[in-house]
């Protein structure tokens, strides 16, 4: 039965993919609620005042970092204090004019919280959580005014949903949010998963799979060096690189580059090991996809990765930048198909907690706890 809820869902465009996958699942989990999507980024791009004023703040707040290549232009443009306030105004106007029962935003680059409307936030990061990464460039830390706006966003929210425990800890410790108003719900897979395919035995030479757009931040150079050291003991092994096109002069390396999400499952199915020795990673949907495809995972002890990879159970966690440990770990897995199989089975078990319907159900339960007048009584059967 429909709860009759009217929900405003605010996002920064249809990308990344969770911005598209979550709304219908959330509407279903809320009992068939009417959910209207508003693209804040698109509205800002059409806004004449944004085009006239924001460049001045862009230069003042990000000029040096842009000039030195420390921040990407898109990220800089949408993370000025003026843009935060402007997008917040556009978002609140949408919520207020629609008379919604609930507002919900994904990502935290604006504040859609309107007076009188319970507001919920789903985020994969906080800005101050970056301070926990060993190679974070503190020169790129945003100013106090921007962080104050972010603090206000979290303070106004009825609940902040996170993808991982390290972001939940950041909200409590660095943003002083009450633990009961922070709920970790995880995330789902973007890639298609077929259970029959996922359980097929992988034939041919063992393949190590890397999937990521940012070769350096995702630990690609360390992986390439570790793979080169494996040639003597595993001459048949292959490395597949998806998402980027680094220049690598090594045998048995397949550089795929960009791959549409509709086809990326093929590479998971062919792989024996998923390896992404990241330096910084707020969450990493690719890890969830590796879980669903039953792969042992090799990564680092940063961000959300310890939530997804239990060391020694469904994979191994190493220290950032440790090529010796990375090579030894990959050698161990390539030498032991039975360990790969057992770890892959455990990955598939962990994947049950990481689906978009399950994420949406957790969110809906928390939303309805804050809206008792909409909560349906439990179905009691004799």
- Alpha-carbon distance of 232 to 290, in angstroms, equals 27
Q: 6-188+355-374 and 195-351: same fold?
A: yes
Q: Please, are residues 273 and 296 in contact by the beta-carbon 8 Å criterion?
A: yes
- Alpha-carbon distance of 14 to 42, in angstroms, equals 10
| pLDDT tens per residue, range 251-307 | 999 999 999 988 899 999 999 999 999 999 888 899 999 999 999 999 999 999 999
| pLDDT tens per residue, range 128-156 | 999 998 888 888 889 999 999 999 999 99
Domain range summary for the chain, segments of one domain joined by +: 6-188+355-374, 195-351
Superfamily grouping for domain 195-351: Glycogen Phosphorylase B; (3.40.50.2000)
H or E element, residue 339? helix 337-351
| pLDDT tens per residue, range 352-378 | 999 999 999 999 999 999 887 665 544
Strands (E), 51-158: 102-106, 119-123
The class (CATH top level) of 6-188+355-374 is alpha beta
Which of 243, 360, 261 has its CA nearest to residue 17? 261
Residues 6+ apart with CB under 8 A from 134: 279, 302, 320
| pLDDT at residue 295, rounded to an integer | 97
């Amino acid at each position: 039965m429909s709860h009759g809820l009217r929900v405003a869902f605010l996002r920064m465009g249809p990308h990344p993919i969770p911005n598209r996958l979550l709304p219908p699942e959330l509407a279903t989990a809320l009992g068939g609620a009417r959910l209207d999507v508003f693209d804040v980024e698109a509205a800002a791009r059409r806004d004449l005042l944004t085009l006239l004023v924001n460049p001045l703040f862009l230069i003042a707040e990000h000029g040096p970092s842009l000039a030195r290549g420390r921040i990407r232009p898109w990220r800089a443009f949408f993370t000025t204090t003026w843009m935060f306030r402007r997008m917040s105004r556009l978002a609140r106007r949408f919520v207020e004019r629609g008379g919604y029962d609930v507002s919900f935003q994904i990502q935290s680059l604006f504040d859609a919280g309107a007076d009188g409307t319970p507001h919920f936030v789903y985020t994969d990061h906080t800005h101050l959580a970056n301070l926990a990464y060993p190679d974070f460039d503190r020169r790129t830390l945003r100013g106090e005014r921007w962080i104050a706006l972010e603090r206000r966003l979290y303070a106004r929210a009825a609940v902040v949903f996170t993808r991982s425990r390290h972001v939940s800890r950041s909200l409590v410790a660095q943003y002083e949010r009450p633990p009961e108003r922070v709920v970790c719900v995880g995330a789902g897979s973007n890639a298609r998963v077929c259970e029959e395919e996922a359980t097929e035995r992988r034939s041919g030479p063992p393949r190590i799979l890397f999937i990521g757009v940012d070769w350096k931040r995702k630990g690609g150079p360390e992986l390439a060096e570790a793979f080169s050291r494996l040639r003597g003991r595993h001459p048949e092994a292959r490395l597949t690189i998806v998402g980027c096109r680094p220049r690598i002069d090594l045998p048995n390396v397949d550089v795929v580059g960009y791959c549409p999400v509709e086809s990326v499952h093929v590479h998971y199915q062919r792989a024996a090991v998923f390896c992404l020795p990241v330096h910084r990673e707020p969450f990493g949907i690719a890890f969830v996809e590796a879980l669903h495809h039953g792969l042992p995972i090799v990564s680092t002890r940063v961000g959300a990765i310890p939530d997804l990879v239990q060391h020694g159970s469904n994979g191994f966690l190493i220290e950032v930048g440790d090529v010796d440990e990375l090579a030894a770990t990959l050698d161990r897995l390539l030498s032991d198909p039975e360990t790969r199989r057992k770890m892959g089975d455990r990955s598939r078990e962990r994947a049950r907690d990481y689906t978009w319907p399950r994420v949406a159900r957790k969110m809906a339960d928390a939303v309805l706890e804050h809206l008792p007048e909409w909560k349906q009584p439990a179905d009691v059967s004799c």
